[in-house]
Amino acid sequence: MKGILKLGYKLLVNDKAKFTALLLGIVFAVYLMMFVTSMFFGVLNHASANIINVGTTIWVMDPAVDTVSNSVGMPDYVLDAVRSMQGVKYAVPLYSGGALVKLSDGTYQSVTVIGLDDASLLGRPELLEGKIEDIYAENGFIVVRDAEFSKLENPRIGSEFELNDHRAVIVGIAKVATSGLYGIPTLYTTYERAAQYIPNPRYTISYVLVEPKSPEEIPKIKQQVEALGYRARTKEEFMQRTADFFVYKTGGGTNILIMTAISFIIGLSISGQTFYTFILENLERFGALKAIGIKSRDLISMILFQATFTAMTGYGMGVGACVLLIWLAKLRLPSYAAMLTYSSLVIGFVMVAIIAAISSYVGIRKVLQIDPFTIFRG
Amino acid sequence: MPTVAIQARGLEKWFGEGEAKTIALRGVELEAYFGEMLYIVGPSGSGKTTLLSVLSGVLKPNSGSVQVENIDIWTLDADKLAEFRLNKIGFVFQDFHLFPRLTTAENAAIPLILKKKEWDECIREAVNYLDIVGLKGRADLPPVKLSGGEQQRVAIARAMVSQPDILIMDEPTASLDGDTGNAILSFVHKNVLNANRCIVVVTHDERIYEFATRILHMEDGRLTGTEKGTGSAADKGSPSGPQKGTA
């Protein structure tokens, strides 16, 4: 480390009370911001669980659909029309809906039922136990072993229960990439069985899953589906639409913005004020340094280093605290909807960089204004 | 014939404008020589500190010139002037201005650190100077653990560590009791002053006049008289670096 930076480091770190206050301000701001955004991104991720788990390239849906769990039924001709479109390799129907399961103790449990295309089983989950072809067996259902698994009394292969007064048998236990948002178990079966067991409105196709012949065909397919009066969205677009729904239509985005702004203001207030006090307390000594012969650019480097060092240390500790808390929460609640994303990390980093920039700007401005002559005047 | 260290010509300095205008220096002319301990004395508000600041390249005069070792310092840009002060001038401030969170050695090493020398080398040299000023074994203490006299010695070590040609001392005894102040100036006279160094002291403490080579009296921004002091550097050698017993 260069001598002047080491000098700055020692001036900063040796003042333990101020350095601790500076760090606390940054850590608290980063922690708060990261935690809030992590929770939000976690919710968004869980909200898109079925899109992620099914994993197809294009989803065809009613234009009114905002999230994957709120599908609007489409008539069968949509499936036929899509299959006949230019650029479509294949297209299959998907059923997505809710049902009630009657448990052995007589209580009821809500479940999400995914009905996979009978022929292709496109979008099927990875099985942990059982064989996929058993899904065709009479009353066959596959249950997902996730955080909500126990709500179905930890079923095993062969376990039976009632689903909307129909007998259902567990023929497989699967795992998925992401659990759902609403805290209810997920069952997979065939499209036909789902449509048969679950009371439905007039139209039963929730989504048409499409595989294009090549990625270049996607825009053409989207155009053709639009001409039909429906929407074709890629997996990413559908996830974005789901995210937009939570951001813009539920007030979630505004809340996150407010919390981020609050954490920024808290961080800036504590750290900015403490750093400014640190500069003020050392103002005469900085003046002495100027009299002795420190160059302005060295003085600026020293203060920038102090602000950057504090900011980055605080950032690391804030991220660490956030990770630790999410980890602890997930030990207790496996479905805990919090997820640290690169976006959170970048937002936190930018916020801390702005705090450091403002704090150091104020400090530098003050220090550069000191006239070393004032040191002589006492 | 002694060599001129500082030559000031026609120095004028005022603060404020209009009715608030205060004239601090009125056409001051002086020479300070190597090997002398030059005192500038006078009542409060006479312009002593302003003159010291102008001579040391800290405060720009409104007119006039200051030549230090034949360099017209007020023609230098800000960076060159800072470099000049760092290389040529050592400062001892009235209130010491030591960093309380640094050790004594780190405080004393500051001019070397600003010169971008290796940290360990800076500390080594600073410790050497602390030994010279009588603070052996105190290098790792923070300044707050030292007495006022010891803090002033740290300030002297800091001023001397880069071996400047000119030492500027602003009211060096103002924060010290009589005996300590006398001891400090005695130390400076004995160990710091030499034929290759000029020391300029601003003071109004008559108890330390005995160490002056020359005393310039100042009043109302003008030099009003010169008095020959009893302190002399004529018999001193010209050490080229830190040696035991001399800084």
Percent of chain B with pLDDT over 90: 59
Over range A177-198, report the average pLDDT: 84
Is the pLDDT at A258 greater than 50? The verdict is yes
Q: What's the pLDDT at B231?
A: 66
User: Which residue of chain A has the CA closest to B170?
Assistant: A376
Q: What's the pLDDT at B69?
A: 86
Q: What's the pLDDT at A90?
A: 92
pLDDT digits (tens, 9 = 90+) for B162-181: 889 999 999 888 877 878 88
Q: What's the pLDDT at B94?
A: 84
The answer to whether the pTM exceeds 0.90 is: no
Contacts of A14 in chain B (CB under 8 A): 101-102
B15 in A contact zone (CB under 8 Å): no
Contacts of B56 in chain A (CB under 8 A): 291
| C-beta atoms of A290 and B170 within 8 A | no
Contacts of A290 in chain B (CB under 8 A): 82
B79 in A contact zone (CB under 8 Å): yes
Over range A260-266, report the average pLDDT: 84
Is the pLDDT at B195 greater than 60? The verdict is yes
Residue for token digits 């942990």?
Answer: A128
String of DSSP letters for A324-336: HHHHHHHHH-TT-
* Cα–Cα distance measured from residue A309 to residue A359, given in angstroms and rounded to the nearest whole number: 12
String of DSSP letters for chain B: -PPEEEEEEEEEEEESSGGG-EEEEEEEEEEEETT-EEEEE-STTSSHHHHHHHHTTSS--SEEEEEETTEEGGGS-HHHHHHHHHHHEEEE-TT----TTS-HHHHHTHHHHHTT--HHHHHHHHHHHHHHTT-TT-TTS-GGGS-HHHHHHHHHHHHHTT--SEEEEESTTTTS-HHHHHHHHHHIIIII--TT-EEEEEE--GGGGGG-SEEEEEETTEEEEEEE-S---TT-----S-BTTB-
| C-beta atoms of A15 and B99 within 8 A | no
| C-beta atoms of A376 and B118 within 8 A | no
Sign of the C-alpha dihedral, residues A357, A358, A360, A362? positive
Is the pLDDT at A1 greater than 80? The verdict is no
Q: Give the pLDDT band of residue B238 (cuts 50, 70, 90).
A: very low
A369 in B contact zone (CB under 8 Å): no
A106 in B contact zone (CB under 8 Å): no
Q: What's the pLDDT at B232?
A: 57
Partner residue facing B97 (CB), from A6, A15, A284: A284
Return the number of other C-beta atoms located less than 10 Å from residue A312's C-beta. Answer: 15
| C-beta atoms of B82 and A372 within 8 A | no
Q: Give the pLDDT band of residue A199 (cuts 50, 70, 90).
A: confident
User: What ipTM does the predicted assembly reach?
Assistant: 0.85
Over range A42-67, report the average pLDDT: 86
Q: How far is B134 from chain A (nearest CA, A)?
A: 23
Over range A105-128, report the average pLDDT: 89
Q: What's the pLDDT at A203?
A: 86
B21 in A contact zone (CB under 8 Å): no
| C-beta atoms of A3 and B117 within 8 A | yes
| C-beta atoms of A292 and B84 within 8 A | no
Q: Give the pLDDT band of residue B44 (cuts 50, 70, 90).
A: confident
Mean pLDDT, rounded, of chain B: 87
pLDDT digits (tens, 9 = 90+) for A133-164: 899 988 999 998 887 888 888 889 998 888 88
Determine which of A69-83, A146-160, A294-308, B18-32 has the lowest per-residue pLDDT on average: A146-160
Q: What's the pLDDT at B246?
A: 44
3-state secondary structure of A202: coil
Mean pLDDT, rounded, of chain A: 87
Which of B172, B174, B166 lies closest to B185 in space, CA to CA? B172
B53 in A contact zone (CB under 8 Å): yes
Is the pLDDT at B146 greater than 80? The verdict is yes
Over range B66-89, report the average pLDDT: 93
Give backbone dihedrals phi and psi of A341, rounded to 5 degrees, phi first.
Answer: -115, 165
Q: What's the pLDDT at A165?
A: 83
Q: Give the pLDDT band of residue B241 (cuts 50, 70, 90).
A: very low
pLDDT digits (tens, 9 = 90+) for A314-372: 999 999 999 999 899 888 877 677 888 888 899 889 988 988 888 889 889 988 888 88
> Which of A1, A15, A292, A299 to mutate to test binding with chain B, by most B CBs within 10 Å of its CB?
A292
